[in-house]
Amino acid sequence: MELLHSKILGEGTPLLILHGFLGMSDNWKTLGSQYADNGFQVHLIDQRNHGKSFHSPDFDYELLASDVIAYMDHRQIESALILGHSMGGKTAMQIATSHPNRVTKLIVADIAPKFYPPHHQYIVDALAQLDFDKITSRKEADEVLSQHLKDFGIRQFLLKNLHWVEPKKMGFRFNFEVLKNRMEEIGDNIGATASYDGPALFIRGDRSEYILPNDYPEIKKHFPKAVIETVDNAGHWLHAENPKQFFEKTLHFMNS
């Protein structure tokens, strides 16, 4: 089995961080360093078809969870705190409900245990406009993307995935061909009877619609010990929009 790529920071209690859709471990470098400074061995992980991890035509949450368990086995990590954002939060929920003995505490950032209809199509459509036979720089890629995506922050997030595939030839780090066709799987829910009885923190952005008050009963059904917290002045990318408050709330939970 192929192993996930990771960057490991610090020493101490293992903390695994799982990025969201079209993200990568690098997105969490700043917060990861802060956790490492507070006594955690932080594993910033690239999930399959993302970052520097392997590409595969197979993609669902059971596979994403089994990838992380294989990574833990390889690293001889018996159990760990697991923090996942968005798609990574779904992977984290899958790990906790399928392998509860491997998870000491669960942190889920801005995603609920429910099905989300495909809603990233506008991003996929914009990315499809990038012709790497013609584009030779990030600046040129941004000029093309800006015609379809007005949000500067989202464009910068996506452009982090560009790299030199070969001299003078750019491409995506993520597996665009597979991911653009797996939008249904990205929105998938955990099993109807899946549950995790350990400590769990669900943390949402106050301007995000991913976790709404009417989702709280469903969270409690699957994660009976869940605490639900809100980060102020933040949308779905709450860890980037208000990193100070996100860090304080998650660290308090980790240390409690």
Catalytic amino acids?
A: 86, 177, 236
3-state secondary structure the chain: CCCCCEEEECCCEEEEEECCCCCCHHHHHHHHHHHHHCCEEEEEECCCCCCCCCCCCCCCHHHHHHHHHHHHHHCCCCCEEEEEECHHHHHHHHHHHHCHHHEEEEEEECCCCCCCCCCCHHHHHHHCCCCCCCCCCHHHHHHHHHCCCCCHHHHHHHHCCEEEEECCEEEECCCHHHHCCCHHHHCCCCCCCCCCCCCEEEEEECCCCCCCHHHHHHHHHHCCCEEEEEECCCCCCHHHHCHHHHHHHHHHHHHC
What pairs with residue 14 in β-bridges?
A: 41
